[in-house]
A and B are shown apart, each in its own frame.
Chain A
């Protein structure tokens, strides 16, 4: 048996980055003009930014999905299960209600993204608070509470829209429900997301090996020297922070966090030390490709306008999820 050395770790990160870079460059050539060619100066910057941001979001969602699946001991777990997306959408919409923002001056001073981030963290906080007993996280309860908080936030969101009497589907409030990239991001907002995601990712990678013990019973994990309760807390909080900062700039983009880790698992198995880097790359690639496909379809006027990237990932990811579920059931 070859030991898992630092060389191997670096190699797998380099390979993962390499695959992503190839796809990203290919995506640069796909545009809404319909011609496959290197972008001219006027759209170059726009397209580059769009690809980098989708990649960042895909990477954040996939790596946190990978971690959620390990900790919740459930291969079908998705970063959105814990109410992150619903909380962010709700908060982002509340921010739009000027009457409400007027009541609290502080809201007016914050950007919609910062507010969405806080909403996401509040939802996760509620989920954690309800799903822990004596400071211990119980995976099954966590999943159940997450689903419920998600549903309640979603309903509140729709309720607010109803009260506000804006026609559903026409305004950009819908965009935040289906997942579309925000085009008007300030540089600070981008850099905040980049910082949270990359620092979080390195911390997750640091713990990745020990995260393998999350599949065991708690007393076994401890007997192997892994302080599993603390590890669960740390990784769930970091993964949620990463998801929240992604959702804050993109709205909920479903299924990337579910699909990418699964693709990676088929190639490298269950060891988180190899799984995390590859999942991250796959997540970045998937979202990059979905975004380019959205641009391309816009030209073909199949969609009439740019498709929010969340629509495409949902269309591709939904069937994939069902396939997984079917396979799992057949194995049992």
Chain B
């Protein structure tokens, strides 16, 4: 098991944000975190990265999170925030290079391995023609690919994404999820992503985790989780469920 987190609870000042959340992530598995704004998706991801310190236990690859040196963890777990950042004047290659920061030697000296990995990531994401372009000349979709590239340059075993498709159009959203699916299948990458899109998550994730006010309302395969009654309770909206031609369930607010 890549990740085992048990009984996580966390409060900002006095406001509880996570209550007794347990979650696991396996190699090659895609897990989607769903739930309304403020339900604890981002808080959970920050706890798993060690940015926040909840009560409970977090174990990455059989080692408790607190025992991981930051630099080693960066070689195993990568993180893509909702709005990734970089020096606005940097070129694509600068951003990708920074993904190797945990692997550099003293004085930031790079190894041949660093160059190989970046070449590989560049090819995988089709960034070859963009390498020397300044970041601020790219489209939203290209930008997103560069930041996914920075994560992959870390050669992680797990990738945590916080609403990665928020700023993307439908085509780019689907392409990103297809890429994650491929990486999960081909490289056994474990993917944990917070998402607002129930139907896309259902189409790509192996497991859905539905959060409500910091607790897990329900989790499991899409078919079991996406029940109108549960969703109504969580989102506070009347919902209806359709059976799509593809056989997947589709859920929509009843308007």
User: What residues of chain A have their CB less than 8 Å away from a CB belonging to chain B?
Assistant: 1-6, 9, 75, 205-206, 208-210, 212-213, 215-217, 219-220, 222-227, 265, 269-273
Check B115 against A3 for contact (C-beta < 8 Å): yes
Question: Is B86 a contact partner of A215 (Cβ separation < 8 A)?
Answer: yes
Contacts known (A3-B110, A3-B112, A217-B81); A225 close to B73, Cβ less than 8 A: yes
B111 near A3 with CB under 8 A, answer: yes
| Given A223-B79, A224-B74, A269-B94: A215 and B51 interface contact (C-beta under 8 Å) | no
**B114 contacts A3, C-beta separation under 8 Å:** yes
Tell whether A224 pairs with B110 under 8 Å between CB atoms, given A215-B86, A265-B89: no
Checking B75, B77, B89, B101 against A270 with a beta-carbon cut-off of 8 angstroms, the contacting residue is B89
- Asked if B98 and A273 sit within 8 Å, CB to CB, the answer is no
* Extra 19 A-B pairs, beta carbons < 8 Å, given A216-B84, A226-B101, A270-B90: A1-B97, A1-B119, A3-B112, A6-B107, A9-B107, A205-B107, A206-B106, A209-B108, A210-B104, A212-B87, A220-B85, A222-B49, A223-B74, A223-B77, A225-B71, A225-B75, A226-B102, A269-B94, A270-B89
B40 proximity list for chain A (CB < 8 A): none
Instruction: Say yes or no: is B244 at the interface (Cβ < 8 Å to chain A).
Output: no
Bound Cα distance A219, B70 (Å): 12
Q: How many contacts between A and B, using CB within 8 angstroms? A: 105
**Residue B91 at the chain A interface, CB threshold 8 Å:** yes
Q: Are A225 and B101 in contact, with the CB atoms below 8 A?
A: yes
Cα-based distance from A2 to B109 in the complex (angstroms): 12
Residue in A205, A208, A220, A225 with the greatest tally of chain B CB atoms within 10 Å? A225
* Complex Cα–Cα for A22 and B108 (A): 29
Is residue B154 contacting chain A, with contact meaning CB distance below 8 A? yes
- Smallest beta-carbon distance B152→chain A, Å: 12
Known: A5-B110, A209-B108, A269-B90. A216 touches B118 (CB 8 A): no
In angstroms, Cα B75 to Cα A321, docked, is 41
B85 partner residues in chain A, CB cutoff 8 A: 215-217, 220
* Interchain nearest-CB distance for B211 vs A (Å): 20
Q: Which of B48-100 contact A (CB under 8 A)?
A: 49-51, 70-75, 77-79, 81, 84-87, 89-91, 93-94, 97-99
Contact pick for A273, options B49, B74, B79, B107, CB 8 Å:
B107
Can you name the residue of chain A whose Cβ is closest to the Cβ of B132?
A269
In this assembly, does B46 line the interface, its C-beta being within 8 Å of a C-beta of chain A? yes
Residue of A with least CB distance to B93: A1
Q: Which of A220, A265, A273 contacts B81 (CB 8 A)?
A: A220
